Amino acid sequence: MDRLLSLLLALLQPLALLAAAPLFTAVVGRFKARLQNRRGVPLKTPYRELRKWAAKEAVVARTASPLFRAAPYIVFASTLLAAAALPVWETASPGAHVADAIVLIGLLGLARFMLVLAGLDVGTPFGGMGASREMLVANFAEPALLLVVFTLAMTTHTTNIGAMAAATLHGAPVLRPSYMFALAALLMVAVAECGRIPVDNPSTHLELTMIHEGMVLEYSGRHLALMEWAAQLKLLLFAVLTVDLFLPWGLATRMSPTAWLLALPLLLVKLAGLALVLAVSETVLAKMRLFRVPGYLTLAFLLALLGLLSHVILESAP
């Protein structure tokens, strides 16, 4: 019974995330629109777009190789698998055993690897440009993310995300300077990784500044649908990751539906909060010049490093 339940959980949590991903993006957009005194698009728009793309004919450039057509599936699958590693409302997530935090980052790396290759495949200047910039972002964002995970792993002595969350839940609430730095770093990384302002602007096709859109410019139809869905999932994934690592209070630690009932609304509140934070920051900040992006990313990396060091220096007396 327990095994079945846990298998169900393993399937249910990522599927829930997958299902909620377009919604989360829409919510962020809605908040943002409201903050900018606009009405914004309906919340179901992303779902309709996905359906529309999936139904449409896929057009592929003559110069594209088979990799171009395989990439969306791999990107989608690996992002979904990464999401499966996250405990959503229940810390004892079975997915977290298949893939711990480091594997999660690795899977995101795999997704990005294929995404970038897809961008390079057609051989247009935009694709190359987007790819080159994406790798610049990855160059710093990925290690910074790893360092964030390390900081928590050093405190909780595990790299299993569920176990991390559980450890934070079980311990007395402590104000840790290292967590502060790590949280700041994680948020900055998330913004960069998901291609949000101020690093990238998801709603523009101004070719000189775009990153993510540059890479997927040649995609259409079902391929585009998968790519976009994966991107939306990634944004939600980072939000849930933030929740799991830094705000796990409320997560169910036992496998019981009653605990889930408490956990789910709390999760929604937390996610909504994060969406609001993202919307506010996107509203008050302007997109950076590309030359400034390395500075931004270096700052994120440094913050993560500071988190790690402050953990070693301040928090863990030998």
Partner 1 sequence: MNASWALPLAGLAVAAALGSAASSLLAARWPRALTVLAFPMLGVSGIAAQAAGLIALASGARQTTLLPAGLPGLPWHVAIDPLAGAFLLMLGAVLLPVALYGPGYVRAFRNGRDSLATLGACTGLFVAGMLGVLLAADAFLFMLAWELMSLASYFLVCFQHDQPESRRAAFVYLLLAQVAGLLILMAFGVLATTGGFAFPAMRAAHPDATWAAIAFILALMGFGTKAGLVPLHVWLPEAHPAAPSHISALMSAVMLKVALYGFLRVVFDLLGPPQWGYGITLVVVGATTALLGAMLAVQQVDLKRLLAYSSIENLGTVFLALGLAEIFQAAGHPAMAALALLAALFQALSHALLKALLFLGAGAVQHGAHTRSLEQMGGLLRRMPRTGWMFLVGCLGMSAVPPLSGFVSEWLTFQAALQAWRLHDSLLRILVPLAAASLALTTALAAVVFVRAFGIGFLGRARSRQVRHAHEVGDGMLAGQAWLVASIAGVALFPVLVASLLGSAVLQLTGRVPGSPGWLWLTPLGPTTASYAPLLVLAVLLGVGLLGWVVLRPRRGAPVRRVDAWGCGYAPPTPDMQFSAMGFAQPQRRVFAPVYALREGFAGSAYEVVAGDRSWSWIYRPLGALMDRTADLARRLQAGHVRRYLAWSLLTLLLLLWIVS
Subset of 217-276 contacting partner 1 (CB under 8 A): 217-218, 222, 225-226
Minimum distance, C-beta of residue 185 to partner 1, in the bound complex (Å)? 12
Cβ proximity to partner 1: between 26 and 74 the closer is: 74
Cβ proximity to partner 1: between 108 and 274 the closer is: 108
Q: Tokens at residue 54, please?
A: 């999936």
- The interaxial angle of helices 101-121 and 221-246, nearest 10 deg, is 150
Cβ proximity to partner 1: between 148 and 271 the closer is: 148
Minimum distance, C-beta of residue 190 to partner 1, in the bound complex (Å)? 16
What is the phi/psi pair of residue 33, to 5°? -60, -45
Cβ proximity to partner 1: between 27 and 86 the closer is: 86
- Virtual torsion, Cα 227, 14, 108, 129, nearest 10 deg: 20
Q: Which residues does 53 contact at the CB level (< 8 Å), separation at least 6?
A: 220, 221, 222, 224, 225, 228
Cβ proximity to partner 1: between 66 and 257 the closer is: 66
Contact 198/234 with Cβ under 8 angstroms? no
Give kind and range of the element (H or E) at residue 278. helix 257-284
Q: Does 15 interact with partner 1 (rule: CB under 8 A)?
A: no
Binding residue for partner 1 (CB under 8 A) from 6, 45, 159, 281? Answer: 159
Residues of span 198-217 touching partner 1 by CB under 8 A: 207, 217
Cβ proximity to partner 1: between 37 and 291 the closer is: 291
119-156 in b/e burial notation, b at 16+ Cβ within 10 A?
Answer: bbbbebebbbbbbebbebbbebbbbbbbbbbbbbbebb
Residues of span 16-35 touching partner 1 by CB under 8 A: none
Could you give the string, one character per residue 67-96, with x where binding to partner 1 holds by CB under 8 A and - elsewhere? Answer: x-x--xxx-xxx-xx--x------------
SS3 252: strand
Q: Does 123 interact with partner 1 (rule: CB under 8 A)?
A: yes
Q: Does 153 interact with partner 1 (rule: CB under 8 A)?
A: yes
Q: Tokens at residue 283, please?
A: 């509203």
Q: Tokens at residue 113, please?
A: 């690897």
Binding residue for partner 1 (CB under 8 A) from 102, 255, 264, 266? Answer: 102
Q: Can you tell me the distance from the alpha carbon of 65 to that of 15, in angstroms, rounded to the nearest whole number?
A: 31
Binding residue for partner 1 (CB under 8 A) from 7, 8, 19, 98? Answer: 98
SS3 298: helix
Binding residue for partner 1 (CB under 8 A) from 58, 184, 259, 276? Answer: 58
Binding residue for partner 1 (CB under 8 A) from 12, 43, 136, 169? Answer: 136
Residues of span 167-186 touching partner 1 by CB under 8 A: none
